[in-house]
Amino acid sequence: MNVVNNQFMNKARKTQVDAFTSIQQKLGAKQRAVAHALKVLGEASNKDLSKALGWPINRVTGRVTELVDRGIVTTTSTKKDPETNRTVTVWRLA
C-alpha cells in the first residue's frame, strides 16, 4: 500500500509542477516572480511578498490582484501584521 501511495504522490507532485510550469509561461515577469515567491514561501501577505522580493508594496499588490483575478492565487487566512497591528490577507497559490 505504501508503494502505491508513493507512486500516487509522485504523480500528483509531477502534475502540480506541470500545472505551475504551464501557468508560469502565460504570466508576465513580475507576475511570475510573485507566483514563484508564493510557491517558495507557501503563503504570505503582500508585505511578506514585498520583503521577499525586495519590491515596494504597491508593485506587489497589483500583481497579486492580477493573479487572484486569473484564479492562480487565493486567500488562505488573515493575520495581524506585527508592525502595523492591522489585519492583513494571507495568500497562497490556488
Please tell me the predicted confidence (pLDDT) of residue 23.
59
Please tell me the predicted confidence (pLDDT) of residue 25.
60
Placement of cell 507532485 in the chain? 13
Please tell me the predicted confidence (pLDDT) of residue 22.
58
Please tell me the predicted confidence (pLDDT) of residue 13.
64
For the chain, which residues score pLDDT lower than 50? 1-5
Grid coordinates given for 59: 508593485
Long-range contacts of 77-83 (CB under 8 A, 24+ apart): 77/43, 79/45, 81/45, 81/47, 83/47
Please tell me the predicted confidence (pLDDT) of residue 54.
97
pTM above 0.75?
Answer: no
